[in-house]
Each structure stands twice: as structure tokens, then as C-alpha cells.
Amino acid sequence: MAEHASFKVQDLFSVKDKVVLVTGGGSGIGKAIAEGFAVNGAKVYITGRRKDVLDNAAKEMGENVHTIQGDVQTQDGCVKIADAIKTHESRLDTLVNCAGVNKLWRARTSDHNDPDQVENLLTNGVLEEDFNQSNQINVNGVYFLTVNLLPLLRKAEDPNVCVIASIAAFGTQRTMGSVTYAVSKAAVVHLAKVLAGRLHPMKIRVNTICPGVFPSEMTGTTTGKHEYAISPPAEKAARRSTAGRPGKPEEIVAPVILLSSAGGAYMNGALLTVDGGRMLGTSIHDGIRLPEDTYD
């Protein structure tokens, strides 16, 4: 049996000298995750479509962060990202699939219990291209980037893949989430399980984290390095958690680092909800509402 790590925090959760790739690392929780690894001694690559955003993020985070402009929306884009990493590194310890898109409803409703408004929302609020783009980035991108990085992952001592999904995969959030986002996140949760099973012979661990409401470009607009002014719907949703607030950057960084460290080395196929208790109330507050006397 291999010798266990020291129980000291600096040993249990060390990511020093690891090589890490974070997709969507130029903003939001991806940026926070990337800096979390970088300040703890890892060599971090961040990817994204916007070169200026990536360059600004890398400049803010320091010399341990390197940029690769790329787009996970297509299989070819994923191959190009993987090829770019291979020109610089002989192994990859951790892949964090964080890039994502939320295609909002194209129609609005003021009353989610009004049949006519809901019919209009469902009929005119979503286009085929919304499903396609959501699935291409949130699901296909995770698959094609992961499998094209297998040669580098297989050379790591304890390779692991972390998939950032969402509690939208499970909860009924009528006023907050879009149907394409929720469906794609449910799909990627299962994809992570499939990958964990398929990568078992290679000893590559695959785990999933489902965040609740975190400040990001998806929920608001940037006001600083890791600060965002989140939208009123997101703010209200966050208040309906046990914590009563949105998540903080360190609260998503910590579980990702756990999964990449000695302290998380026995975790495979796991799913963590990091939502401040939001899942406890999604169906109660956002699901189908029935008359009070239904339960008499």
C-alpha cells in the first residue's frame, strides 16, 4: 500500500508543480479556479474564445498562468486546444471543463402560472440553434476536449478531470434557468459518469461539481478582478438558499483544488453540489405550485 500523505493542510491539498488546464478561464468561476491553482504553485493554462479577455486575466493572475485562445464549441476547436497544450507539456495533471453558455429565453413572461404566457414562452422562446449551441459547448466540448487530452492525462501520476455543471441539472428553476441550459447541464452530469467509467482502465478520475449562483458573466457584469454586479433574478435566486447569498470565489476554488490534491485522490465519479443550500428550495419555491388545500 502506498505511503499516505501528511495530514498537514499544505500537504493534503497541495497542487504545487501540477500542470492544469481550465477552459473558460478568462472570467467568472473559471478565472477564480485558474488563480486558485496558480497562487498555489501550479502551472496553469486558460482557454477561451476572446484573446483580450484571456490576456487581461493572465496579466492579473501572474506568471504561472498561460493563455491558449480556442473554442470548445467544435470538435476541431477542441483538437487544436489539445495540440497547443501538447507543444508545451508532456503531461496534464488536471483538466477543469468550466467553459459554458446559457442561452436565455427569447420570449418573456410575467406570470409563470399563466397558461397563455407559458405557451408563448415555450413556443417562441427557444430556437433550434439555442439547443445546438448549448449542447455543443456544454456537452460536446467537454467530451471532445477530454478525449483529445487523454495522451497527456495518462502520463500524469494522478490524472483527474473536473466537470463544472450546475444545479440546473436537477432543480426546477422556472424564473431563473433556461430550458437549453438545464438540459445540457443534465446531459454533462451523465457524460461525466460515462467518462469516469470509460477512463477507469487508465486510472483517470472524473468528478463533477454543480455550482449554485456564483457571480460571473453569466449572472451579471464584471466590476473587478473577481467581482461582479449580478442581475436581479440571480440575486433573488441566491437569497433563496440556506446561505442567503451568492457564492464567493474561494467557495468554488476550494472543492476543485480538493479534487486535484492528495486529499481528493480517492474520489472518482463523485458529484458535489456547491450551492449554499439552493437545491433544498428549488422545487419548493420554483416548481409547480398547487392550491394549499391539495394536501388536506
The 10s digit of each residue's pLDDT in 206-238 is 999 999 988 876 666 766 667 767 787 778 878
For range 277-292, the mean pLDDT: 68
Q: What's 15's domain CATH number?
A: 3.40.50.720
Is the Cβ–Cβ distance between 163 and 97 less than 8 Å?
yes
Q: Confirm whether 181 is a catalytic residue.
A: yes
**Beta pairing partners, 220:** 230
Question: How many C-beta atoms lie closer than 10 Å to residue 170's C-beta?
Answer: 19
Asked whether residue 96 is assigned to any structural domain, the reply reads yes
* Cα dihedral 226, 227, 231, 235 in deg (nearest 10): 90
Asked whether residue 216 is assigned to any structural domain, the reply reads yes
pLDDT for 272 equals 97
pLDDT for 195 equals 98
Please report which confidence band the pLDDT of residue 285 belongs to, taking 50, 70 and 90 as the band edges.
Answer: low
Asked whether residue 59 is assigned to any structural domain, the reply reads yes
Please report which confidence band the pLDDT of residue 295 belongs to, taking 50, 70 and 90 as the band edges.
Answer: very low
User: Radius of gyration over alpha carbons of the chain, in Å?
Assistant: 20
Q: What is the Cα–Cα distance from 190 to 195, expressed in whole angstroms?
A: 9
pLDDT for 176 equals 58
123-171, pLDDT tens digit by residue?
Answer: 999 999 999 999 999 999 999 999 999 999 999 999 999 999 999 998 8
Asked whether residue 214 is assigned to any structural domain, the reply reads yes
Among candidate residues 181, 228, 266, 295, the one labeled active-site is 181
Asked whether residue 118 is assigned to any structural domain, the reply reads no
Task: Give residues with Cβ within 8 angstroms of 112, minimum separation 6.
Answer: 118, 174, 175
In the chain, the number of structural domains is: 1
Residues spanned by the domain of 59: 9-104+137-288
Q: What is the Cα–Cα distance from 82 to 134, expressed in whole angstroms?
A: 21
10-33, pLDDT tens digit by residue?
Answer: 999 999 999 999 999 999 999 999
Averaged confidence pLDDT in the chain: 90
Which comes out higher in pLDDT, residue 291 or 44?
44
Is the Cβ–Cβ distance between 219 and 229 less than 8 Å?
no
Q: What is the Cα–Cα distance from 125 to 127, expressed in whole angstroms?
A: 7
Q: What is the Cα–Cα distance from 284 to 178, expressed in whole angstroms?
A: 18
Vertex 132 angle, CA 20 and 104, to 5°: 85
pLDDT surpasses 90 at 201: yes
pLDDT for 232 equals 79
**DSSP states of 198-225:** HTGGGT-EEEEEEE-S--STTTEEE-SS
